[in-house]
Structure 1
Amino acid sequence: MNAGVRRLLRLCAPILLLCGLASAQDPATCTQDCPAPYVPNAFWTTQYGPAAANVVLSPTNFLACSSASYALCYYSGPDAPPKKKRGIGALPALPCNVSESDPGIADCRCYAESGTSYVDIHSIRNTEAYIETIRVCGLDGAKCRNLVTDELPGKAAEVLGVTPPALPTAPVCSYLQADADGKAPMAPDAELVSTFSFARVKSYGIQQTDCTATAAPYAGCMTASCTFERDAKGKPTGFATCRCPIYSGPFQVGQAGASCDAGSGNVWSAAYAPPSSGSGTSGN
């Protein structure tokens, strides 16, 4: 066995193991003790890192979901709000502070939104949700509703090379929905879950800042557990606090002209789209 084959097997081993676990249960989704008890997804979901790395390889990686609430952490990072952009009002401060009690976690202030959002299939931090989802949607998400089929239906055939059939909703979407106790199954104590959407594009634009020259810590907020921010009277403020795992590596920030350094005690909520992936979008 040559060195190239051995390296490929090492990279694929976690995925092969997960696929083996997934095939042990039939039909395609959880049928007993559902949702399954939470187990953190520690496998490398791509060759670039584990779920916490928030790696994006293709637009189809973003699975389309609809939920009553989700957190949008794509713009979180420094303590200070970004400078006011022309034609819009002042933007809020959305800090991601490294936790004093756990340096591997960042407590990030994020927008609380509702409606359609997208989950990066490589960043599903709940093991059962990940297994269910790759079984139905494939490793790249192309077999389920995704960013291409939902946002670019007229160009789906051009992007994918074929005309997509009617696709199912990804199993992971059910993990975003709060139950009768107000908790989302994605993670313990989650009132809502961090995903990605275009809800704030008019305020922030779609440009990114490349921070890939040197590996550095960032918060991989995709599918992180979040709680609603409330005022002194207990009313929701329109924001959420998310506990995001910190990962060290190259990354992109979802704002133009941003400093890659989020400031002392802070990290950016970010993701990594390798140059060859051609995704054009990295979400967190």
Structure 2
Amino acid sequence: MLLAGSAAAQNPATCTQNCPAPYVPNEFWTTEYGPAAANIVLSPTNFLACSSTSYALCYYSGPDAAPKKKRGVAALPSLPCTISAEDANIADCRCYAESGNSYVDIHSIRNTEAYIETVRVCGLNGEKCRNLASDELPGRIASATGATPPTLPTAPVCDYLQADASGKAPMAPDAELVSTFSFARAKSYGVQQTDCPNAAPYAGCMTASCTVERDGKGKPTGFANCRCPIYTGPYQIGQAGASCSAGDGNVWSAAYAPPSTGSGHSGK
């Protein structure tokens, strides 16, 4: 089901007290290209700007083997996305655990109430809230015109990323942290992509539920374990020169920016 025109047309109950609301999986086709699990990117404004004490970065996850070490760059870890033995529609992905500023793709919000609230405030493409474009452009606009752009509100979905007193983030009942996108590891991996135009399974990790990875003594390792839905379609990988195959039993954490959108990159 494609959510066309406005989320208000669906007239669902809206969270007005005791928010965030209980978790209900988002079954909407959030764009004509697929549901939230497809991680579709149509515009830079789709990436809503948030800040949280912790989030998972699955942008580089996929094969069992770590990427080859580049000159001047420290060795990179293994970040596999393994198809679950219990559920072939889920990938268990090892991701970085980060904190601070990150971005949520508005089309990939897997919590129904968070999605409805966010679309109503931010618009279907996120342009009415702080986003990747609005965070980058104000300085340029002010320099060129002498005018200060209006301040945009923070998207409601950002409230669903913060863990509550129970240690769980409201995005989903079992989420210690939530998978979003950032440039935190761009120096190590670069910003180029690999396009995989043939439809194949991939993990749509944006807003997936994650737990903190801990060592034998219970200490956080700096990584997270995320359960990402698997979707089949064309996609882009967040690394240059990568094979579109992540290896037997594995899938890439990926997203899809249709060629005509000119979005420049995709996140997950």
Structure 1 residue 18 corresponds to structure 2 residue 7: yes
Rate the CA distance shift 1:24–1:97 in 2: closer, same or farther, 3 A. Answer: closer
Unmatched 5+ stretches in structure 1: 1-10
Given that 1:70 and 1:194 are in contact with CA atoms closer than 8 Å, whether structure 2 keeps it comes out as: yes
C-alpha distance in 2, partners of 1:24/1:179? Answer: 23
What's 1:75 paired with? 60
Quick one: distance in 1 between partners of 2:136 and 2:168? 29
The answer for the alignment partner of 1:49 in structure 2 is 34
Counterpart CA distance in 2 for 1:39 and 1:157 is 42
Q: Is the 8 A contact 1:22 1:132 kept in 2?
A: no
Does 2:107 correspond to 1:118?
no
Q: Which residue pairs with 1:146 in the alignment? A: 131
Name the structure 1 match of 2:263.
279
Between the aligned partners of 1:156 and 1:74, the Cα distance in structure 2 is 30
- Aligned position for 2:204: 220
- In structure 2, relative to structure 1, the CA distance for the partners of 1:64 and 1:230 (3 Å cut) is same
Q: Deviations over 1:136-180 (max 9, x none)?
A: 00001000000011134334699xxx9741000000000000000
2:80 maps to which of 92, 95, 99: 95
In structure 2, the CA distance between the partners of 1:187 and 1:58, relative to structure 1 (3 Å rule), is same
Are the structure 2 counterparts of residues 278 and 17 from structure 1 closer, same or farther at C-alpha, using a change threshold of 3 Å?
Answer: closer
Rounded to whole Å, the distance in 2 between the matches of 1:108 and 1:156 is: 40
Match of 1:237 among 189, 198, 221: 221
Structure 2: which amino acid aligns with 1:270?
A
SS in 2 for 1:135: helix
Superimposed CA distance per residue, residues 111-160 of structure 1 (whole angstroms, 9 cap, x where no aligned partner): 000000000000000000000000000001000000011134334699xx
1:270 match: 254
Could you tell me which amino acid in structure 1 is paired with residue 49 of structure 2?
A: A
Q: Please tell me whether the aligned partners of residues 138 and 148 of structure 2 are also in contact (alpha carbons under 8 angstroms).
A: no
The 1:36/1:24 distance shift into structure 2, 3 A limit, reads closer
Looking at structure 1, the residues matched to 35 and 141 of structure 2 have their Cα atoms a distance apart, in angstroms, of 29
Matched-pair contact (CA < 8 Å) for 1:63–1:121: yes
The 8 Å contact of residues 21 and 131 in structure 1, kept in 2 or not, is answered as no
Assess if the C-alpha contact under 8 Å between 2:194 and 2:242 holds in 1: yes
Shift of 1:85: 1.1
| Aligned equivalents of 2:11, 2:115: Cα separation in 1 | 9
- The residue that corresponds to 1:135 in the other structure is 120
Paired with 2:79 and 2:266, the residues of 1 have a C-alpha distance of: 18
Output the CA distance in 2 between the equivalents of 1:283 and 1:33: 31
Quick check: 2:3–2:31 contact (8 Å CA) kept in 1? no
Q: CA deviation at 1:22?
A: 5.1
In 2: Cα distance, 1:202 partner to 1:188 partner: 33
Alignment partner for residue 235 of structure 2, among 248, 251, 256?
A: 251
Distance 2:11 2:263 in 1: 27
User: Kindly tell me: are residues 113 and 169 of structure 1, through their superposed partners in 2, closer, same or farther at Cα, counting changes over 3 Å?
Assistant: same
Whole-angstrom CA distance in 2 between matches of 1:265 and 1:129: 32
Letter matched to residue 107 of structure 2: H
Q: Distance in 2 between matches of 1:164 and 1:143?
A: 13
Higher helix proportion, which one?
1
Question: Number of matched residues?
Answer: 265
Give the ranges of 4+ consecutive aligned residues of structure 1 lying more than 6 Å apart after TM superposition. Answer: none
What does residue 184 of structure 1 align with? 169
